[in-house]
Structure 1
């Protein structure tokens, strides 16, 4: 574990024999008896062919494993293996997803499909890079149990993670990294109870500020009315009514695949297959961003969960961030570059770093750059889709503090926070809960977090509490 950019992913890839271009490598990696090594990347969409359905992607791996069977049984046996692997990766309804394309899955579902690929390969070692990124408490708990079972079966698991609950639940030994070096290592219980390095102590400190309630009830800036969104012919989201007021932070929580990202994409004009309306200041927005005006595009900005896929890999990050102000606000290029540089610096990204192409930045650093790019539009509504899910605790706390500060200092800025993390949801003034595409509960954050009414919300809170309680118990043993 370690901060974004500390070298976790570089280390994980080195175990597979993969190194950055131009890297000077010394030492060696000994994989013992060899055998397949599975890799689950932080951004799973990057390794899933967008032009092929999930079932076809998995069947390609399963078919060679059943060639020894009679020809008549191979297809059925391959499909059985695929379904079993999806269930083992905590996708028990995986059969319903086999006909979908990767872009029709949530980030959490994509991650579990990639884990299923590794399990299908019969990997003896699995390198899991942030495997619980974008996962709700219920799914995370199941995935933790599954990875524990994988380890218990004799498969080695190398976990690269910023999620302290998951590290505490799964790890036997922990290495803490900073700036490419291991600064502390040891058994997980000792590390939590008596951290020796100052950086480890900072990572374990998760306190942060919470925004103040707006002084008065304000008019809605963004409204959803009678929305039903579909993927193909399947309805995946039903939201009769939802409102975001000026100066307010609304958190949308729910399980992976519950419709959170689909709702966010509908608001931003990225998913046009829906009925109903999205209104900005009482005026209906075009369903597709292609038909929205420059003012409308600037007003509603979207920060993607997979930040790497949202950048042109051939252009410096600074240029891409500055381009937003040029294109949407008509700012001159020099002034836009200066504003971009200042905003990136506020988010902890140095000038030297942002003058590099996206490939030279870590996933967490790119998420902060993506946030800076959206802020340069000076939006009235900022939609953040799991933007802290790939960040360590120190960086996440800084981003959440910054978001709270922005909402507090700009009366015209409203925030939609898509998150699976209930601790992150505490940043919000109000929380909306989605389950299986339905809006099941909505209300003030304090009321939802302390006295939920719907059974699904209650189970979500109980699972989170059990994870925390179990980790505290393990840390004291």
Structure 2
């Protein structure tokens, strides 16, 4: 069904009218139920939130509104969309943007389809006006600048808003938002919340798939809590979030970790020192400075959290420390000795001493080789261990991290995101590092898995082997138990010091704004 040429932008909202329903939906693949008898109703101008751990069935349920199911799935139940269009904003918006076309050209083509019934003389101006309105509705500023760029030249948040603009341009009255705040700092997350709230005020319904309970608390009218494909609790958001009845809901809502990751009395000497570091990226043939750090240190047995908004330089700093970003000046010292800029020039001992755990654990594993073999290879490559000895050590470490041997003998696709992060930690630990760099390792994990992983990290730091940890994170709750905190903004360290000072008495305006955005997100609730 095509939407009208001029759909009403601000019409009265009848919240009793149902515009999409899912009834007793069951989706099975190879005899395993991904979704088990799920039912929900979507009404105009409301937010329905599906919350739960990774693999609980949220995305499968959301995609069912489009009639999309996994290959080979057996589907029963009923999905009905009542005469409206549905838009989808995925967790990784770049995947649905054409990398070869500028944003403006793509949106203009879509807009021209919507105004094709107008006289030819009016079509161009009308199409441009629609594009501008859609960008404004999606909370995009400096519209003309965005229109000239290719998708790879946009930030993740801008890409997300462009995808939302596409959906609004096509007249979508239901938006499925899949983990829209995953990997976002507090300021960007605040903007996403405002953006979705503005869409809802126009009478558009939002199906929010999220494990970010602060965002759910701000936006949702109704909440469905999922576990293992089933809805274990469902009802008005205020009741579910303030007085949960099911034990799993209570576990999801449990407070974040507050105990320190490290024991201050067991902190040793400086193991890593950054001095006069200036990193650059190549853009259009030019080398553009993106990071400048005068001095930053890490002591053995401590945890240094590096926080800041997306694009502030956190990951670039981490990659410089690990030898993954070679275009930089200054020095990175390990125990007082300069490390080569590129890992290719580092000795086996230096490679073992500084280990990196990536944000996307799934992409860091070869999907065609058993997890156990990939973890064991670290001991073979960096310590010259024999294969039987390396395999035995890998099994021991993986078991200590809570991974069953039968599971890790299989391919990475059999493991959940949290399980793969544990396997990635095990692989790094087999190197017996002096410095462990953890780059957003909790991003994309549900609260229960996140707490479990952070407790595990704390146990590793407190284990008495003197390992220091650099924890890159956008989440201030994750940073709070660190020994010290460094705040990056615009590629510079604007504030650094003990966690108590930075997180309770910040001096820099950016740190203040970051904490304020995080606190508002934690305490705000939609009336």
What does residue 323 of structure 1 align with? 377
Give the Cα separation in 2 of the matches to 1:238 and 1:86. Answer: 34
What does residue 437 of structure 2 align with? 383
Contact 1:89 1:113 in 2 (8 A): no
Q: Deviations over 1:236-257 (max 9, x none)?
A: 2111111111111000011111
Deviation of 1:72 after TM superposition, in Å, equals: 13
Give the Cα separation in 1 of the matches to 2:428 and 2:518. Answer: 31
Give the Cα separation in 2 of the matches to 1:264 and 1:444. Answer: 20
What does residue 61 of structure 1 align with? 106
Which of 457, 461, 464 is the equivalent residue of 2:515? 461
Which of 204, 208, 232 is the equivalent residue of 1:183? 232
Structure 1's 197 and 315: CA in aligned 2 closer, same or farther, altered over 3 A? Answer: same
Give the Cα separation in 2 of the matches to 1:180 and 1:120. Answer: 30
Deviation of 1:408 after TM superposition, in Å, equals: 0.8
Q: Which has the higher strand share?
A: 2
Which of 67, 76, 85 is the equivalent residue of 1:26? 76
Deviation of 1:200 after TM superposition, in Å, equals: 0.7
- 5+ residue gaps, structure 1, are none
Q: Give runs of aligned pairs for residues 162-177 of structure 1, distance below 5 A.
A: 162-177=211-226
Contact 1:317 1:357 in 2 (8 A): yes
Deviation of 1:285 after TM superposition, in Å, equals: 1.7
What does residue 40 of structure 1 align with? 90
Structure 1's 410 and 442: CA in aligned 2 closer, same or farther, altered over 3 A? Answer: same
Give the Cα separation in 2 of the matches to 1:268 and 1:83. Answer: 45
Structure 1's 81 and 452: CA in aligned 2 closer, same or farther, altered over 3 A? Answer: same
Contact 2:224 2:231 in 1 (8 A): yes
Contact 2:184 2:310 in 1 (8 A): yes
Q: Deviations over 1:328-358 (max 9, x none)?
A: 2333333433443443444444444434433
Deviation of 1:48 after TM superposition, in Å, equals: 6.1
Contact 1:85 1:116 in 2 (8 A): yes
User: Which gives a bigger RCO, structure 1 or 2 (Cα 8 Å, sep 6+)?
Assistant: 1
Q: Which has the higher helix share?
A: 1
Contact 2:137 2:165 in 1 (8 A): no
Deviation of 1:110 after TM superposition, in Å, equals: 2.2
Q: Deviations over 1:19-54 (max 9, x none)?
A: 33443322233233253532312x4565567xx47x
Q: Give runs of aligned pairs for residues 282-293 of structure 1, distance below 5 A.
A: 282-293=336-347
Give the Cα separation in 1 of the matches to 2:351 and 2:147. Answer: 32
What does residue 470 of structure 2 align with? 416
Give the Cα separation in 2 of the matches to 1:131 and 1:455. Answer: 26
Give the Cα separation in 2 of the matches to 1:94 and 1:252. Answer: 34
Give the Cα separation in 1 of the matches to 2:202 and 2:229. Answer: 31
Give the Cα separation in 2 of the matches to 1:354 and 1:82. Answer: 51
Q: Deviations over 1:437-467 (max 9, x none)?
A: 1110000001111111111111212222222
- 5+ residue gaps, structure 2, are 1-50
After TM superposition, the structure 1 stretch with the greater mean CA deviation from structure 2, 222-231 or 113-122, is 113-122
What does residue 425 of structure 1 align with? 479
Aligned-residue Cα RMSD (Å) equals 3.2
SS at match of 2:103: helix
Please give the TM-score of this superposition, normalised by the length of structure 1. 0.87
Q: How many residues align?
A: 464
After TM superposition, the structure 1 stretch with the greater mean CA deviation from structure 2, 425-434 or 388-397, is 388-397
- Indicate whether 1:406 and 2:451 are aligned: no
Contact 1:83 1:94 in 2 (8 A): no
Give the Cα separation in 1 of the matches to 2:281 and 2:137. Answer: 22
Deviation of 1:212 after TM superposition, in Å, equals: 4.0
Contact 1:85 1:117 in 2 (8 A): no
Q: Give runs of aligned pairs for residues 246-257 of structure 1, distance below 5 A.
A: 246-257=300-311
Structure 1's 217 and 179: CA in aligned 2 closer, same or farther, altered over 3 A? Answer: closer
Give the Cα separation in 1 of the matches to 2:318 and 2:288. Answer: 18
Structure 1's 334 and 431: CA in aligned 2 closer, same or farther, altered over 3 A? Answer: same
Structure 1's 346 and 217: CA in aligned 2 closer, same or farther, altered over 3 A? Answer: closer
What does residue 192 of structure 2 align with? 143
Structure 1's 399 and 139: CA in aligned 2 closer, same or farther, altered over 3 A? Answer: same
Deviation of 1:294 after TM superposition, in Å, equals: 2.4
Q: Give runs of aligned pairs for residues 28-107 of structure 1, distance below 5 A.
A: 28-41=78-91, 43-44=92-93, 52=99, 56=101, 58-59=103-104, 61-67=106-112, 81=131, 85=135, 88=138, 95=145, 102=152
Q: Give runs of aligned pairs for residues 167-246 of structure 1, distance below 5 A.
A: 167-208=216-257, 209-215=259-265, 218-232=268-282, 233-246=287-300
After TM superposition, the structure 1 stretch with the greater mean CA deviation from structure 2, 78-87 or 213-222, is 78-87
Deviation of 1:210 after TM superposition, in Å, equals: 1.9
Q: Deviations over 1:170-214 (max 9, x none)?
A: 111111111221111111100022111111111111243323443
Contact 2:269 2:300 in 1 (8 A): yes
Contact 1:266 1:287 in 2 (8 A): yes
Contact 2:302 2:461 in 1 (8 A): yes
Which of 46, 52, 69 is the equivalent residue of 1:2? 52
Give the Cα separation in 1 of the matches to 2:398 and 2:105. Answer: 43
Deviation of 1:81 after TM superposition, in Å, equals: 4.1
Please give the TM-score of this superposition, normalised by the length of structure 2. 0.79
